[in-house]
Amino acid sequence: MVTFFSPGQKDTVASDPRLCAELAVRSTWIDLFQPTREEELAVETALGVEIPTREEMNEIELSRRLYREKDQVFMTATVLTRSDSSHPESSAITFILGPERLITVRYASPVAFSEFTSRWAASGADFPTAAKVLVGLLDAIVERLADVLEHTGAGLDRLSLEVLSDGVAEPAAPQAAPVKSASPAQRDFKEILRRIGRSSDLASRARESLVSLGRLIAHIREEHRDLPALQQEQVHLHTVAADLVALSDHATFLSGKVSFLLDATLGLINNEQNAIIKIVSVAALVFLPPTLVASVYGMNFEHMPELKWLFGYPLAVGLMVVSAILPYVYFKRKGWL
72-99 pLDDT tens trace: 888 888 888 887 777 888 888 888 888 7
Does one domain contain both 175 and 312?
no
In a domain, 328, yes or no: yes
165 or 255, greater pLDDT: 255
Confidence of residue 11 (pLDDT cuts 50, 70, 90): low
In a domain, 290, yes or no: yes
Lowest mean pLDDT among 50-54, 178-182, 267-271: 178-182
pLDDT at 302 over 80: no
Does one domain contain both 329 and 319?
yes
Does one domain contain both 57 and 160?
yes
In a domain, 244, yes or no: yes
Mean pLDDT value of segment 235-262: 86
**CA distances (Å), origin 45, targets 41, 48, 69, 97, 274:** 6, 5, 16, 17, 70
Q: Work out how many domains the chain is built from and give that number.
A: 2
Does one domain contain both 117 and 180?
yes
Mean pLDDT value of segment 243-272: 87
Choose one of 218, 236, 270: the last residue of a domain.
270
pLDDT at 235 over 60: yes
334 or 95, greater pLDDT: 95
In a domain, 39, yes or no: no
In a domain, 100, yes or no: yes
Does one domain contain both 261 and 278?
no
In a domain, 185, yes or no: yes
pTM: 0.73
Task: Tell me which residue range forms the domain holding 83.
Answer: 52-270
Mean pLDDT value of segment 305-321: 79
Choose one of 225, 254, 270: the last residue of a domain.
270
Check which CATH number belongs to the domain holding 295 and give it: 1.20.58.340
Whether 162 and 196 have beta carbons less than 8 Å apart is answered as no
Q: Residues of the chain with pLDDT > 90: what percent?
A: 0
168 or 134, greater pLDDT: 134
Does one domain contain both 97 and 68?
yes
Mean pLDDT of the chain: 78
DSSP, collapsed to helix, strand or coil, labels residue 45 as helix
- Closest to 142 (Cα-Cα) out of 216, 226, 58: 216
Q: In the 8-state DSSP scheme, what is residue 233?
A: T
Going across the sheet that includes 102-106, the strands are: 12-14, 2-5, 29-33, 102-106, 89-97, 72-81, 66-69
Mean pLDDT value of segment 144-164: 86
Does one domain contain both 165 and 96?
yes
Please give the sequence-ordered ranges of beta strands (E in DSSP) within the chain, or none if there are none: 2-5, 12-14, 29-33, 66-69, 72-81, 89-97, 102-106, 169-170, 179-180
Does one domain contain both 107 and 170?
yes
In a domain, 15, yes or no: no
Q: Residues of the chain with pLDDT > 70: what percent?
A: 83
Give the whole-angstrom CA distance, residue 96 versus residue 24: 13
Does one domain contain both 86 and 164?
yes
Q: 89 — phi, psi (to 5°)?
A: -135, 170
Does one domain contain both 120 and 196?
yes
17 or 250, greater pLDDT: 250
Does one domain contain both 102 and 117?
yes
Mean pLDDT value of segment 62-79: 81
In a domain, 154, yes or no: yes
Choose one of 253, 270, 287: the last residue of a domain.
270
Confidence of residue 179 (pLDDT cuts 50, 70, 90): very low
283 or 19, greater pLDDT: 283
Report pLDDT for 59.
Answer: 80
Does one domain contain both 262 and 243?
yes
Report pLDDT for 47.
Answer: 76
